[in-house]
Amino acid sequence: MKRIVANNKKVEIIEDEVPSIEGKPSYILVKTLYSVISPGTELSLLAVSEKRQVHLGYSAMGEVVDCGSDITDVKKGDLVACYGAPYVHHDEYLLVPKTLYAKVPDTVEPKEAALGGLGAIAIHALRIANLQFGETVVIIGLGVLGQLIAKIAHAAAYNVIAYDLHESRVDMLKEDNIKSFATVDEMEEALRIDTKSRGADAVLLCAGGKRSPLTHECLKWIRTKGKAVIVGDIEPDFPRDLMFGKEAQLLISRAGGPGRYDTVYEKEAIDYPYEYVRWTEGRNLEEYIRLVNEKKIDVRAFLSETVEFDDAPQEFEKLLNKESSTLTKIIKFT
């Protein structure tokens, strides 16, 4: 099979063996139909691939071609959304544990399902914020992840205020009647009016940049006892005085939810008890599929650019050289 990797800061297509399901009763073998490029994460991996090979990708969907003996919820021929490296990459075939896939109904477009990994990450970020109905959330940075968070928060009836310095990204959310702004002054004025100058219940930082002034600014935007949630690749540099003055909470959202990076949950495919860990990464993935299926969120704006598998390395080059302003690109395998 073919797979896309970063090798010495270049993106390449290599040949590898199809993974075997033998001895994996809790796994399925998936023939990939679409996978999603996540520019922030994957360009970071590309940057650290000097003198080594790094596998790329973590969100995809495809057709089940084989099932382990313990699999009962899907069968050969079913479509599934899959999430999470090292089980999900830009590979022609994926060997996925039962805790990291969700069945895709016929009413969901395959390309929509391919965004499932990003959807799970967006959902988990909102769960970390632990907002209640009617509370105000400010979302800073409207890349594909920030966009998804804003859409899901809006569907949950939170009061959403979003900001990005790119007008085009701001306009995408305005189509969903979400309050979004391309200047800080406009965003702050909307926040002042909506909260009667009390401040947001939470600010989600979805922008990149290790040393960002946003870590200081966001503390001015939250209310007393409000929350700052780091979602993007930002160094947590928060001034003590500002945090102390508001008794602010600092939270970090890690990937798609409980279970991520736990070998028992992922590699051994042993799920956490539903009663005690309600929203695992796998259940967040299922929830994304439900939201799309029930038309609670519209993700079609992220599906406009599909690239053929063999052309993917050039598309990574365009993203790396900032020749493309696209939020994400969908890789087509067939």
Q: pLDDT by residue for the chain (334 residues), tens digit each? A: 999 999 998 999 999 999 999 999 999 999 999 999 988 888 888 888 888 999 999 999 999 999 999 999 999 999 999 999 999 999 999 999 999 999 999 999 999 999 999 999 999 999 999 999 999 999 999 999 999 999 999 999 999 999 999 999 999 999 899 999 999 999 999 999 999 999 999 999 998 766 667 778 899 999 999 999 999 877 777 888 888 989 999 999 999 999 999 999 999 999 999 999 999 999 999 999 999 999 999 999 999 889 999 999 998 888 877 655 678 899 999 7
Question: Cα(286)–Cα(98) distance, rounded to whole angstroms?
Answer: 12
How far is residue 89 from each of residues 31, 108, 191, measured CA to CA in Å? 12, 21, 40
What is the pLDDT, as a whole number, of residue 320?
75
What is the pLDDT, as a whole number, of residue 77?
98
What is the pLDDT, as a whole number, of residue 234?
79
What is the pLDDT, as a whole number, of residue 105?
98
CATH level 2 (architecture), domain 122-252: 3-Layer(aba) Sandwich (3.40)
Question: Cα(91)–Cα(186) distance, rounded to whole angstroms?
Answer: 44
What is the pLDDT, as a whole number, of residue 212?
66
The helix (H) or strand (E) run that includes residue 225 is: strand 222-230
Q: Where do the H-state alpha helices sit in the chain?
A: 39-47, 110-114, 116-129, 144-155, 167-174, 184-195, 214-221, 240-246, 281-293, 312-320
What is the pLDDT, as a whole number, of residue 323?
53
Each as own residue / partner, the long-range contacts of residues 319-323 (CB below 8 Å, 24 or more positions apart, any chain) are: 319/37, 319/39, 319/43, 320/43, 320/46
Quick check: 7 and 49 in contact, CB under 8 A? yes
Domain layout of the chain by residue ranges: 2-115+264-332, 122-252
What is the pLDDT, as a whole number, of residue 325?
60
pTM here is 0.94
Q: Which residues pair with 32 in a beta bridge?
A: 62
What is the pLDDT, as a whole number, of residue 317?
83
What is the pLDDT, as a whole number, of residue 209?
65
Would you state the structure tokens that stand for residue 190, as one six-digit string? 């909307």
The CATH topology of domain 2-115+264-332 is: Quinone Oxidoreductase; Chain A, domain 1 (3.90.180)
What is the pLDDT, as a whole number, of residue 19?
96
